[in-house]
Structures are given as structure tokens and as C-alpha cells.
């Protein structure tokens, strides 16, 4: 038996936060977590781009303190209607004005309510366009949402939660694998302690270092400097005309509208275009293993786990026979803070492709890069496999979710 209730009747709090005065300048790398819309994904939370505020700023925002089991819902912007349960690992936390806190009176019902909000996402996307020039979900609209509460709602939520738990487990494994890969890269190409011919750490064991005036630092003897543009083929994407249906159907080519991907590997396209659309736009079909960088707003690097074209806000760096994504990706991640400073434009801060092409790098000798690739490539292959497994688990969850929410299926 089911009953429909308004969301406000089963919650003790629905409300959005605020942004501290000073904007990005007040954020730090430690303190109280400050959650923004970019951290809220569909059914999951991303700590990429998570920022922190100090205790004084947090005290001013104590009215939007996030608590255990709270649901976080994006209420404005391009990511509107995404929701997730806050992870306990980031608490204490506050939220921005683009995120609403939904606190259930019965905390145990939060997973089910979160799943139901995801089920209602098409409806939320429809009502957020009513009036105004910017998509937004008002507090009143959220409070008046009808939620179906069957007697077995907790059991239904547990089925979906089991799948999400496995997805989250895979995400944690991938985080550890990426940390291992970063440590390996830094040890070899930042500290220059790759194994010498005796198997000892090169620089720490007295390996010869030579000052390079272009890089303005010492590098191992036998290495040289180059740029991204000189070493790799890079491509800026493009968008086929939306006015021509034949550029978008049939759906033949994977296409990414942004590289702001929450994971290390991209295994799902945002959209698909036709081969005709690919031929009649600046977009290029990039092979698996290409490292892509979003060059607008928050710069972010990812690796293509599929063949895909991209739009004009993404640059692709194609692998070579010598340099694979396991080298390019950690290099680019280390470069992002420097590139962020070089962004221009008030409305949409961005870098140009030329800025990336001119980025300098120390080029190791062939034997060193081959030895590194033998160690690093298996770590990245494991990450890719877990991303692909999560894609399948997500598809299964998303297939089950509507039939559990609308009563087509029950749990026995």
C-alpha cells in the first residue's frame, strides 16, 4: 500500500546556503568543508574541487550546517536537480546558495527520498524552467513535491543502496590507485628518483643533474626540454550545428560537451552525433587513451576510455608511441594550478589551446619512460576497468530505480 505525501511533511529542514564574501579568495585547503554545486553528482558526491572555509566564516553560515544523512540537492545552474546523500567523511560542512539541504525527520528514510528525487528529476527539470531567465528550483517548489511512501520503502531503497555501495567501493579503490600512480609519477619525474642502472634512486644516489635555462631548474643528464605542442598532437573540439538534425541523427559518434568528468576515465558520452556532423564541424574523433582537458571555468583532466569527439571547450592530447596516458595525465594534473592562473575572461574564465601547447615539460630518455610505463600502465588499466564496471552497475541501478519507485516492482 502506498501513500503520497508532500516533502515538507516528512522533513525538518529544506533550505539553501550562501557564499562567503570574497568568493574564491576566501577558500583554503583545510578547515570546514564548503560544498558547491560541482560537488553534487547524480546519486554520488565528488570531492574534486571541494574547498574549505575557516571557523569564522563557518560560524556565519551555521544556519546551513550539513548534518549526517542530509540530502543535498542542486537548485540552480547547469547541474540543477542532481542530488546525493552527504558523505560523513566531509563533515562538518556548509553549502552554497546553489545547493539545498533536505533533512528528513526520520533519518532512515533519507536514502529512499534521495532515490525518489532522482526518479522525479525529469519533473524537476521541467518545473525549474517556469519563469525567470535562469533555471532554478524554489524552496516552495521543493517543499511541495509529492513523495510516494509505500510500506516497504526502506526495502526498496536497500536494493538500490547495495548497488551504490559497490559503486562507491570501486570509487575508493580507484582513488587509492590514482594516489599510487601520482606517487610513482612524482618520485620518477618530480623528485627524479627513478632507478639508475644499479637500481638506486637516481638523484638521491648522486645521479648527474644539469641546469636547464628554459625550464629554470636542474634535470637529469641526457634529458631535454620540449613543449606539449612539439611533443604531442593536440586537438580543440567543436560542435555541429544544432539547426541540422542530420548532424545529430543517427547517433553514431560519441561526443563530449565538457571534460568536467568526475572520474579519471570517461566511459560514457554526454551525447552522440552523426558521422555527417563530425565531418561538418571542427570536432575530431579522438582515440581511447587520449588525455582531455576542459579549458573553461574549472580546468579538469580526464582520460578517454572510449573513442569520442568533443566540443570547443575541450582540448585532447593524443598519445604517442613513447608517451602514453599514464605519463600525460599526471603531468597535466600537476600543471592545472599554473594553467588556472592563466585563465582570461570575466564571464567564462578559460585558457586558449595555445597556452596548453606552449606548456613546458622535461622529456626523459627512452629507457626511463619505457620502464615507468611498464609500472604505471597496469594501475591505469585497473582504474579504467573499475570505471567500466561502475558504468554497468549504474545502468542496472537506473533501470531498477523507476520500477521500484512507481510500484511496478516490489521487494519480497
Residues 7 and 143 in one domain: yes
pLDDT confidence of 298, banded at 50, 70, 90? confident
- Residue 133's pLDDT band, with cuts at 50, 70 and 90, is low
List Cβ neighbours of 412 (8 Å cut-off, separation of 6 or more).
none
Angle between helices 153-189 and 110-119 in degrees, nearest 10: 90
Q: What is the CA radius of gyration of the chain?
A: 24
Same domain, 121 and 10: yes
Identify the pLDDT of residue 271: 92
In the chain, the percentage of residues whose pLDDT exceeds 70 is 97
How far is CA 372 from each of CA 294, 326, 327, rounded to the nearest angstrom?
26, 9, 8
pLDDT per residue as tens digits for the range 19-57: 887 666 778 878 999 999 999 999 889 888 899 999 888
Query: What is the average pLDDT across 365-369?
Result: 97
Q: What is the pLDDT of residues 317-356, one digit of tens each?
A: 999 999 999 999 999 999 999 999 999 988 889 999 999 9
pLDDT at position 346: 82
- Do 119 and 244 fall within a single domain? no
The answer on pLDDT for 285 being more than 70 is yes
Distance CA 109, CA 149 (A): 10
Range of weakest confidence among 1-10, 68-77, 82-91, 157-166:
1-10
User: Is 389 domain-assigned?
Assistant: no
289 phi-psi bin (left φ>0, alpha ψ -120 to 50, beta other): left
Same domain membership, residue 128 and residue 7:
yes
Q: Is residue 102 part of a domain?
A: yes
Residue span of the structural domain in which 307 resides: 224-363
Query: Buried b / exposed e across 15-46, counting CB within 10 Å, b at 16+?
Result: ebbebbeeeeeebeeebbbbbbbbbbbebbbe
Is the model's pLDDT at 17 over the cut of 90?
Answer: no
Average confidence (pLDDT) over 83-100: 94
Q: Do residue 127 and residue 257 come from a single domain?
A: no
Is 196 inside any structural domain? no
Residue 240 falls inside a structural domain? yes
Angle at 294 between CA 94 and CA 392, to 5 degrees: 80
Grid cell 567523511 in the structure block, residue:
89
DSSP code at position 68: T
Confidence label for 1 from pLDDT (cuts 50, 70 and 90): low
Q: What pLDDT score was predicted for residue 47?
A: 86
Number of domains into which the chain is organized: 2
Q: Is the pLDDT of residue 130 over 80?
A: no
Return d(Cα 57, Cα 256) in angstroms, integer: 37
Please say if the pLDDT value at position 131 is more than 60.
no
Cα distance between residue 123 and residue 351, in whole Å: 36
Quick one: pLDDT at residue 132? 55
Cis peptide upstream of residue 96 (ω within 30 degrees of 0): no
Q: For residue 154, what are the contacts with CB-CB under 8 A and spacing of at least 6? A: 108, 109, 112
- Please indicate, yes or no, if residue 188 is contained in any of the structural domains: no
Query: Based on the domain organization, do 134 and 257 belong to the same domain?
Result: no
Mean pLDDT of the chain: 93
Give the chain's end-to-end CA distance (angstroms, integer).
14
Whether 45 maps to a domain, the answer reads yes
The residues pairing with 254 across neighbouring beta strands, listed in sequence order, are 272
- H-type alpha helices, 190-231: 228-231
More confident site: 133 or 270: 270
**In the predicted structure, residue 260 carries a pLDDT above the cut 80:** no
Residues 119 and 239 in one domain: no
Boundary of a domain, candidates 148, 170, 204: 148
Torsion angle, alpha carbons of 146, 122, 167, 372, to 10? -150
CATH code assigned at 242? 3.90.220.20
What are the CA-CA distances from residue 170 to residues 166, 260, 261, 330, 393 (Å)? 6, 20, 16, 20, 11
Q: How far apart are CA 43 and CA 3, in angstroms?
A: 24
What's the mean pLDDT in 72-93? 93
Amino acid at each position: 500500500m502506498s501513500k503520497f505525501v508532500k516533502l515538507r511533511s516528512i522533513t525538518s529542514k529544506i533550505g539553501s546556503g550562501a557564499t562567503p564574501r570574497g568568493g574564491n579568495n576566501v577558500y583554503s585547503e583545510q578547515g570546514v568543508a564548503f560544498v558547491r554545486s560541482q560537488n553534487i553528482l547524480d546519486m554520488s558526491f565528488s570531492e574534486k574541487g571541494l574547498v574549505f572555509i575557516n571557523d569564522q566564516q563557518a560560524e556565519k553560515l551555521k544556519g546551513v550546517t550539513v548534518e549526517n544523512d542530509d540530502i543535498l540537492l542542486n537548485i540552480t545552474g547547469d547541474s540543477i536537480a542532481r542530488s546525493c546523500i552527504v558523505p560523513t567523511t566531509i563533515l562538518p560542512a556548509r553549502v552554497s546558495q546553489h545547493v539545498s539541504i533536505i533533512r528528513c525527520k526520520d533519518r532512515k528514510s533519507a536514502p529512499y527520498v534521495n532515490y525518489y528525487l532522482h526518479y522525479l528529476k525529469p519533473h524537476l527539470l521541467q518545473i525549474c524552467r517556469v519563469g525567470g531567465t535562469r533555471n532554478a528550483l524554489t524552496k516552495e517548489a521543493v517543499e511541495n513535491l509529492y513523495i510516494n511512501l509505500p510500506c516497504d520503502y526502506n526495502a526498496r531503497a536497500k536494493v538500490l543502496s547495495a548497488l551504490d555501495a559497490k559503486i562507491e567501493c570501486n570509487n575508493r579503490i580507484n582513488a587509492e590507485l590514482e594516489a599510487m600512480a601520482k606517487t610513482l609519477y612524482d618520485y620518477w619525474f618530480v623528485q627524479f628518483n627513478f632507478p639508475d642502472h644499479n637500481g638506486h634512486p637516481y638523484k638521491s644516489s648522486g645521479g648527474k643533474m644539469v641546469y636547464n635555462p628554459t625550464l629554470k631548474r636542474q634535470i637529469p643528464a641526457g634529458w631535454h626540454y620540449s613543449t606539449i605542442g612539439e611533443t604531442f598532437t593536440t586537438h580543440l573540439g567543436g560542435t555541429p550545428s544544432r539547426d541540422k538534425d542530420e548532424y545529430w541523427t543517427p547517433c553514431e559518434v560519441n561526443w563530449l560537451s565538457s571534460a568536467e568528468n568526475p572520474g579519471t576515465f570517461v566511459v560514457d558520452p554526454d551525447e552522440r552525433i552523426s558521422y555527417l556532423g563530425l565531418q561538418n564541424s571542427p570536432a575530431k574523433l579522438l582515440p581511447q587513451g587520449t588525455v582531455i582537458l576542459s579549458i573553461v571555468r574549472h580546468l579538469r583532466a580526464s582520460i578517454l576510455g572510449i573513442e569520442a569527439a568533443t566540443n570547443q571547450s575541450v582540448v585532447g592530447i593524443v598519445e604517442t608511441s613513447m608517451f602514453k596516458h599514464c605519463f600525460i595525465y599526471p603531468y597535466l594534473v600537476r600543471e592545472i594550478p599554473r594553467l588556472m592562473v592563466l585563465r582570461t575572461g570575466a564571464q567564462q574564465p578559460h585558457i586558449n589551446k595555445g597556452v596548453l601547447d606552449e606548456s613546458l615539460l622535461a622529456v626523459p630518455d627512452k629507457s626511463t619512460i619505457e620502464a615507468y610505463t611498464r609500472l604505471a600502465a597496469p594501475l591505469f588499466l585497473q582504474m579504467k576497468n573499475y570505471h567500466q564496471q561502475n558504468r554497468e552497475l549504474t545502468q542496472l541501478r537506473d533501470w531498477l530505480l523507476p520500477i521500484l519507485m512507481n510500484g511496478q516492482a516490489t521487494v519480497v
